[in-house]
Amino acid sequence: MFSKLSVVAVSVLVTLAAAMPGGYTPPVTTPTSNQCCSSVQSSSSNVVSAVAGLLGLDLSGLNVPIGLGCSPITVLGNNCGGTQVTCESPEKEWGSLIAINCIPITL
């Protein structure tokens, strides 16, 4: 049941993202912000495209890892519970939904 619901939810997000006009293409710079992300995926994945589309971001042509559900790591050794990465710091208007150019780190 859960997998069917996931497929439907992703399909709806992809459809919404495809219907939205192209948006702002964020610049790719050197990552400087330690983040804890729920997942890190290719910038060309369907889920990333859907989230980026909802935020008005155009990631087409970018070939960098994208962090989803990210929050800053402020204390060394904290229990991340996700993937520890160094990313470009997410813009405030993106909330914690997406971070650009995420490279795995070990703290």
Q: What pLDDT does 12 receive? A: 40
How far is residue 67 CA from its own chain's centroid? 4
**Distance in angstroms (rounded) separating the CA atoms of residues 52 and 43:** 9
Domain boundaries, given as residue ranges, for the chain = 2-104
pTM confidence score: 0.69
What are the structure tokens assigned to 11, written together? 């399909």
What are the structure tokens assigned to 61, written together? 């042509």
Average pLDDT for residues 25-38, to the nearest whole number? 80
